Amino acid sequence: MKAGMFFLVTAYVLSQFYRAFLAVLSPVLEAEIGAGPEDLAIASGLWFVSFAAMQIPIGWALDSIGPRRTACGLLALGGGGGAVVMALAQTIWVLILARVVAGITSATYTTIYAMVADIYDGPERSAKFGLIAAGFGIGLLLATATLALGVFLARALVKDTRSRRGRRSHNSRQRHL
């Protein structure tokens, strides 16, 4: 059960990542697929709509098929599928679709609380809920900080590459003179 909870908490950390990453990637998304602030606002809003819309079906699934199957199905659909769709997004509409699928996956957090409620009682249950909530906040900070560092390093690499091309072009012109 510990491994299962680890993966569920990891999924929720990714949920926090999905909530925040558009803000960090907005300059890159604008440059690569033309996604402006309005497009990203729509994509973020639809993430929250799909997240909220999944609460009732997830509640039904938790009662009908159990938390493990519910979590596995949602993580397979959105965790894998949403990431693939996001990685392949070449248009704003595909980006929006990826955000909707990510919202469905992010709703998986409900299964964590259902499992903890089934396993623990009283103060131990409350302590586990508190630890999970704290871990999610830390996950949000780590995810956005890591992503910001990645964007910073990617920009530095692009700038360095452009600088080298410019030097090669300049040296080439001087040899021809």
CATH 1.10.3720.10 fits 2-176, yes or no: no
Higher pLDDT, 75 or 47: 47
Give the span between the Cα atoms of 89 and 102, in whole angstroms: 13
List, as one string, the DSSP characters of 20-58: HHHHHHHHHHHHHH---HHHHHHHHHHHHHHHHHTHHHH
pLDDT over 60 (residue 115): yes
Across residues 123-134, what is the average pLDDT?
A: 81
Convert the pLDDT of each residue in 9-24 to its tens digit.
666 666 677 677 777 7
Give the span between the Cα atoms of 72 and 62, in whole angstroms: 12
Are the C-beta atoms of residues 86 and 98 closer than 8 Å to each other? yes
Q: What are the extents of the domains in the chain?
A: 2-176
Across residues 147-166, what is the average pLDDT?
A: 77
pTM of the model: 0.65
pLDDT at 143: 63
pLDDT at 82: 73
pLDDT over 80 (residue 132): no
Radius of gyration for the chain, computed over Cα atoms and rounded to the nearest angstrom:
21
pLDDT at 98: 86
Are the C-beta atoms of residues 12 and 108 closer than 8 Å to each other? yes
